[in-house]
Amino acid sequence: MFDTVLVANRGEIAVRVIRTLRELGIRSVAVFSDADREARHVAEADTSVHIGPALASESYLNGKRILDAARETGAQAIHPGYGFLAENADFARACEQAGVVFIGPPPGAIESMGDKIRAKQTVSGAGVPVVPGRSDPGMTDADLHRAAVDVGFPVLLKPSAGGGGKGMRLVHAESELDDQIASARREAGASFGDDTLFVERFVSRPRHIEVQVLADAHGTVVHLGERECSLQRRHQKIIEEAPSPLLDAGTRARIGASAADAARAVGYTGAGTVEFIVSSDRPDEFFFMEMNTRLQVEHPVTELVTAVRGERGVDLVEQQVRVASGERLDWAQQDLTIEGHAAEARVYAEDPSRGFLPTGGRLLAVHEPTGPGIRVDSGIRMGGSVGSDYDPMLAKVIAWAPGRGDALRRLDKALADTTVLGLSTNVAFLRGLLQHPDVLAGKLDTGLVERDLEVLVEAEVPEHAYVAAALERLIAGQPSSGSDLWGVPSGWRLGRPAWSTWRFSGDLKVHLRGSPDRAEVAVETGTTTESAEAAARADGDLLTVTFRGRTRRYRCAHVDGTTWLAADGQAWALTEHRLLAERDDAAGRSDGVVTAPMPGTVLVADVTQGQQVRSGQRLFVVEAMKMEHTVTAQIDGTVTEVHARRGQSVGLDQPLAVLTAEGEG
């Protein structure tokens, strides 16, 4: 067994690996970039090494610097986590040459399964069913076009390298094919350094089911059941569960055996995942999609339901470490059973109401749930920062129970108790998804989220949140002993108290008079004003408010004029409005300011000053965390100002250009 292991990753997976190393009595080494100096994984490791600037290619993707860090610290092995170098055969080979154990499969297995075209050919030869399509090496754009037409629409364009939905495009018609090929190649090249694509048939009402495999270097290969990963957006998983509610016992046995055959076909060792696509209409028919030659993000649900000889709970990271050190698996397939049900939700720094665009900021408050059957794998802590340099996943909330219904209810309750203040997250969206009737019934498919997105995304701030924000400000302004009564914003006067007013977004105003423990509140929206009694008290970051006969508890924080509130899994950032003079040059023209939809980098700038544009025309493409977003013109008009160029870094809502509508100016 090793005595020192370097973790070549960051965020929640680095924290999770370090936890197991600590339990095994193994010294852990963290690596960090400039952006992660204060990160949680750095604080929790036994020692840490700085490896470069925030840019991933110069830090977490720099194999030489990571191997140098291993030599400096005496690490005998490197655990790559997932992402970054986890499926990089060249890095695995470099570790081998440097005399450092790569905790993962052999380079040859990574190469065989990392190239999806080659992988399909390999597993097909081993008798594993594959999706119809065309995957010839080195297909040109014209080849891809012809192949898509031959396969028949809709089709999926998929990158040969990488995963996570990056570079994948669903194409419904030939008219959009060429643009989608170009976009897919660009994103695949930026994400994986390889823009090779292939085409395959799009399976109707598809379900994404994957099987966890584990193999040692002595010929033992086992599978640990399947995971249902059909709840996705933009081909990125959101909620995963184990086992799948779709499969019967016979299909479960067949798909597990196929996964083990796929692993044997490439001489696999360690933990890996074989992904299949299954039609909701034909649940007994499954097709190989790809194999992820690493630990998966969703591995905790398998850990929580897998039992060995009746004892539930398999630590897959521990098994990776033991296999990499040369140990044999001490159990066979017949020793493994599935006990109960587990579900996991991924918490992202993103704004569902703005198309799931990445967000960022300083973490003002972090509260993670606890309780029976609840597990949280997290990479954040209060006071840390989330930027646009890396993947926006912050944490995973996982729940186990004897049955599926109870597991989903526990997960929903755990998300209600999850608080992240300082940036927008998808927690409320996750709760809405868990309560969707089809999710509760197990009627899942990869298109469910897109179909019902409007129902699942709630952008409107409720009245009670505005009232709570105003009361929080009233409490904050209360006098300490000996303070000047006339300086307190309570509205106190000789005679009846006057009103104090807080104005928030739009025309909404909250009028208060009295004290926090007994206040009169009048909420003014446009021409309507309604009043009621309210009371509030604060205890640290916990704010308790009674309003309109209902008591709610909020987590709260206030910074730079913005009050952050969270309750029941929802969070709001409420900024007190201050009246400002209108810009002189804004008079007489339409609001044609084009802004950045997220913090990131301008990849494409198809705009010049004086250019005539039409509504819907592409002006810019902004990229953050390997995700592209196209910015279009909202009006017909003339480009009068250009503020961004290709390669420039931009912030959220930063002006990119200004358009003047036709007939104005």
pLDDT of 161 reads 85
CA gap 269, 72 in Å, rounded: 28
The residue among 94, 75, 74, 73 whose CA lies nearest residue 85 is: 94
Q: What is the mean pLDDT of the chain?
A: 90
579 pLDDT band, cuts 50/70/90, is very low
481 and 377 Cβ atoms separated by less than 8 Å:
no
Evaluate if residue 591 carries a pLDDT over 70.
Answer: no
**Last residue within a domain, chosen from 156, 186, 201:** 201
Q: Provide mean pLDDT across the span 334-344.
A: 97
CATH code for the domain of 140: 3.30.1490.20
* Co-location of 547 and 448 in the same domain: no
- Is 600 inside any structural domain? yes
Query: Tokens 């290969």 correspond to what residue?
Result: 221
**Last residue within a domain, chosen from 422, 437, 459:** 459
* Co-location of 556 and 597 in the same domain: no
CA gap 18, 27 in Å, rounded: 9
pLDDT digits (tens, 9 = 90+) for 279-320: 888 899 999 999 999 999 999 999 999 999 999 999 999 999
CA gap 235, 474 in Å, rounded: 45
State whether residue 517 is helix, strand or coil. Answer: coil
CA gap 131, 1 in Å, rounded: 41
Q: What percent of the chain has pLDDT over 70?
A: 94
340 and 398 Cβ atoms separated by less than 8 Å:
no
Q: How many CB atoms lie within 10 A of CB 248?
A: 9
Q: How many CB atoms lie within 10 A of CB 307?
A: 16
Evaluate if residue 39 carries a pLDDT over 70.
Answer: yes
CA gap 208, 255 in Å, rounded: 12
* Co-location of 344 and 449 in the same domain: yes
pLDDT of 495 reads 52
- Is 307 inside any structural domain? no
CA gap 596, 609 in Å, rounded: 18
* Co-location of 415 and 475 in the same domain: no
pLDDT of 494 reads 52
- Is 297 inside any structural domain? no
* Co-location of 523 and 570 in the same domain: yes
CATH code for the domain of 436: 3.30.470.20
- Is 173 inside any structural domain? yes
Lowest-confidence region among 300-314, 535-549, 575-589, 642-656: 575-589
pLDDT of 626 reads 62
Residue 477 or residue 128, greater confidence: 128
Strand partners, 535: 546
Q: Provide mean pLDDT across the span 655-660.
A: 90
Residue 5 or residue 165, greater confidence: 5
User: For residue 372, what are the CA distances in angstroms to 402, 407, 431?
Assistant: 12, 11, 19
Measured torsion, CA atoms of residues 442, 448, 452, 454, in degrees rounded to the nearest 10: 120
CA gap 343, 401 in Å, rounded: 9
Evaluate if residue 118 carries a pLDDT over 90.
Answer: no
* Co-location of 449 and 359 in the same domain: yes
- Is 591 inside any structural domain? yes
* Co-location of 590 and 524 in the same domain: no
CA gap 655, 665 in Å, rounded: 19
Q: Tokens for 316, please give them.
A: 């897959």
pLDDT of 342 reads 98
**Last residue within a domain, chosen from 519, 545, 575:** 575
CATH code for the domain of 489: 3.30.700
- Is 176 inside any structural domain? yes
Enclosing domain of residue 153: 132-201
Q: Provide mean pLDDT across the span 454-479.
A: 89
pLDDT of 190 reads 87
* Co-location of 95 and 195 in the same domain: no
CATH code for the domain of 650: 2.40.50.100
Q: Provide mean pLDDT across the span 459-479.
A: 90
Lowest-confidence region among 295-299, 420-424, 483-487: 483-487
* Co-location of 392 and 444 in the same domain: yes
φ, ψ of residue 67 to 5 degrees: the values are: -65, -35
Q: Provide mean pLDDT across the span 225-252.
A: 94
- Is 187 inside any structural domain? yes
pLDDT digits (tens, 9 = 90+) for 163-197: 777 889 999 999 999 999 999 999 999 888 899 99
212 and 314 Cβ atoms separated by less than 8 Å:
no
CATH code for the domain of 67: 3.40.50.20
133 pLDDT band, cuts 50/70/90, is confident
pLDDT of 235 reads 82
pLDDT of 531 reads 85
pLDDT of 586 reads 37
pLDDT digits (tens, 9 = 90+) for 262-271: 999 999 999 9
Evaluate if residue 557 carries a pLDDT over 50.
Answer: yes
* Co-location of 397 and 446 in the same domain: yes
* Co-location of 410 and 442 in the same domain: yes
Evaluate if residue 357 carries a pLDDT over 90.
Answer: no
Evaluate if residue 589 carries a pLDDT over 80.
Answer: no
Count: domains in the chain: 5
> Which helix (H) or strand (E) segment is 398 a member of?
strand 393-401
- Is 265 inside any structural domain? no
* Co-location of 565 and 589 in the same domain: no
pLDDT of 583 reads 35
CA gap 554, 143 in Å, rounded: 57
